[in-house]
Chains A and B, each alone.
Chain A
Amino acid sequence: MLRFVARRLVWMVITLAAISFVTFVVIKLPPGDYTTTVIANAEARGQDIPDSQIAELKRHYGLDKPFIVQYLTWIKGVVLHGDLGQSFAWNQSVASLIGNRVLLSMVLSIASLLFVWAIAFPIGIYSALRQYSGGDYLASFLGFIGMAVPEFMLALVMMYIGFRYFGQSVGGLFSPEYADAAWNLGKLLDLISHLWVPIVVVGVAGTAGLIRITRANLLDELHKPYVATARAKGLPEWKLLLKYPVRMSLSPFFSTVGWLLPGLISGETIVSVVMSLPTSGPLLLGAVKSQDMYLVGSFVLILSTLTVIGTMLSDLALAWWDPRIRTRFQKG
């Protein structure tokens, strides 16, 4: 088991190195760089920036150096000092820029995730056990609607409802009076009272999908011979269903749970834009548009790190859950 984890860690480092490099290449691919954005903005205001000043900017940001040097300088900072570099557009260090937003993104996403699980698993299990019943059809119907309605649409509708009927200050995660306040109990409660709308919006599509997956997985297991064995043993119906087929049906779920991790900090971008939530998604979107390369690179690097960590965690979770996988790990 330890050997397995160690081997995976080595591969993770190699994978991340490759990803960071490719990311850098991709950011560099479009013609121009951040100075192009600066010039365009200046021209839009009717100003003209002299060439000498542009050269000065390029030198200041290191954009005049060869590509490979820029990459190595950045990655050296990341690895040796945990320094993600400077954001050109915000003129701040990337770390300070992202920190708070990543935290809020994770709060929102984890809360949505728990919401999704709490709703989707019981409904999916019920749907499979009572296949073709009225409840199953209702769950399927609502599920398909949930998957089909775009999130931004749902966000707008929820904001309308929240504003019209509950008189809430919609948009954002905080009421105006708390937005810049330091953390205290009032601010926390305010956050919770705002959080439910984005949670529902972000969670609905995931809930719908997970209901379908849970239902299909369980239907596959429900008529296997081992279920008949359990029934022949005289176990009460609900007990045997939960112990045997439901448990089996969750294995595929564990093998994909790791992919949720990167979604935790980037999944709700569109919703965040619509509802103007101070999370990380809109920031990334803006950074990509203005070729703010260290900011984008750091984002992608963080997302990639979370992806590989998530994959590994889900492998470990699956091993914990399913002895067939576990015994294979133990051998090699």
Chain B
Amino acid sequence: MQPLLEVRELRTHFELGDGVVKAVDGVSLSVPRGRTLAVVGESGCGKSVTARSILRLVEKPARIVGGEILLYDDAPDTKPLDLLAAKDKRLRQVRWADIAMVFQEPMASLSLVHTIGDQIIEAVRLHENVGKQEARDRAIEMLDRVGIPDPKRRVDSYPFQLSGGMRQRAMIAMALSCRPRLLIADEPTTALDVTTQAQILDLLQDLQQEFGMAIMLITHDLGVAAQVADEVAVMYLGEVVEQGPASAVLSHPKHPYTQALVRSVPRLGQRGQDRLVAVRGTVPPPYERPTGCRFHPRCDSFMAGKCDVTVPVRVRSDEIDVACLLYGEEADR
């Protein structure tokens, strides 16, 4: 089936005084319709920059230098819209109406001097031709839907009058107020405590069922990914090294990096004497990208003369797309 969104060879670079940091350097991934894609990876691997690049929200010194971001229409066989090539006006129509976003810090991502209602109504009236009262009713309805008690009163509250969990719910209500086809959630639960985190994830899943939208969930937490994702894309140093169904990627990972990540997650009932294994080595400095496969200096399956020379291309192995020289024709030869 045609995906909803396809990112091809996206490159977003930070042009700093002492060099160029290639935060996102050739990311390709696809978001299936109506399902949840989790993008996982260590801090600094470029997950958030990828998410922000989709709506062209990156700010100086970051700049999108290449790639395509294709948004497919609901009708099959229509030409997709390339968001990177779209005119500003067209892009603004896509923002929120087709693709909405929820950010990490709900306190910081809502304006503190405007009421929640004001901020939701603004979004609704921007994209739909509705009156003030109707937009307000929609805001109240959405607040009710995301589980905010007494929404008729809360619609006139300011964000600082709500708890962290409630604020994130309000943010989600705002994100869904225009019925987007894709919700990008950038670490939506990282700033919340574990109980609230679980509630928010449940809520997202319920809302997905109800509204049928796709979710792209950015997270560094494999547990979160396992809980909600249908698909998982694993990022390392600005590229996607592996994408496939969540069950396959998380239980039988192909890429040595994913394997190391999965091993590093503590499990309930794990025997005391088994030490938790961390991913070996550290992320290389930003200005020195390794040659060949970017993971080779930390890789347990490193093949000298091969991995440090050849850049792996993505191949399909079982149901998983993986960029590693252990797989595909390269490996068979």
Contacts and interface: CB of A to CB of B under 8 A. Distances in A.
Interface of A: 223-226, 228-236, 243-244, 247-248, 251, 321-324, 327
Contact of A234 (B52, B92, B111, B158): B92
B192 to A, nearest CB: 15
Given A247-B113, A323-B113, A228 B92 contact: no
A322 B113 contact: yes
6 contacts: A224-B108, A230-B111, A231-B95, A232-B101, A234-B92, A327-B160
Contacts of B59: 223, 228
Contacts of B92: 234-236
Interface stretch (B121-129, B197-205, B245-253, B262-270): B121-129
A325 to B, nearest CB: 10
Contacts of A230: 111
B295 interface: no
Contact of B109 (A226, A234, A324): A226
B225 to A, nearest CB: 23
A327 B158 contact: yes
A233 B122 CA distance: 9
Contacts of B96: 232-234
B103 A234 contact: no
Contacts of B95: 231-234
B155 interface: no
Contacts of B114: 243-244
Contacts of B237: none
A230 B123 CA distance: 9
Interface residues of B, number: 31
B109 A229 contact: yes
Nearest to A232: B101
A43 B52 CA distance: 83
B23 interface: no
A229 B110 contact: yes
Contact of A232 (B100, B115, B127): B100
B188 to A, nearest CB: 13
A32 B95 CA distance: 77
Given A234-B97, A235-B126, A324 B55 contact: no
A86 B123 CA distance: 65
A226 B118 CA distance: 14
A324 B112 contact: yes
Interface string B9-38: 000000000000000000000000000000
A225 B94 CA distance: 20
B126 A229 contact: no
A229 to B, nearest CB: 5
A255 to B, nearest CB: 14
Contacts of A225: 103-105, 108-109
Nearest to B56: A231
B93 interface: yes
B160 to A, nearest CB: 6
A226 B122 contact: no
Given A323-B158, A324-B158, A327-B158, A234 B126 contact: yes
Nearest to B52: A228
B57 A231 contact: yes
B227 interface: no
B124 to A, nearest CB: 10
B249 to A, nearest CB: 28
A234 B109 CA distance: 15
Given A225-B109, A226-B111, A233-B123, 17 more contacts: A223-B59, A224-B108, A226-B108, A226-B110, A226-B112, A228-B52, A229-B171, A231-B57, A232-B95, A233-B96, A234-B95, A234-B126, A244-B114, A247-B113, A321-B113, A323-B113, A323-B115
A230 B126 CA distance: 11
Contacts of A243: 114
A260 B171 CA distance: 39
Contact of B93 (A223, A224, A234): A234
A327 B105 contact: no
A324 B157 CA distance: 11
B127 A234 contact: yes
Among B109, B110, B158, B171, the most chain A Cβ lie within 10 Å of the Cβ of: B109
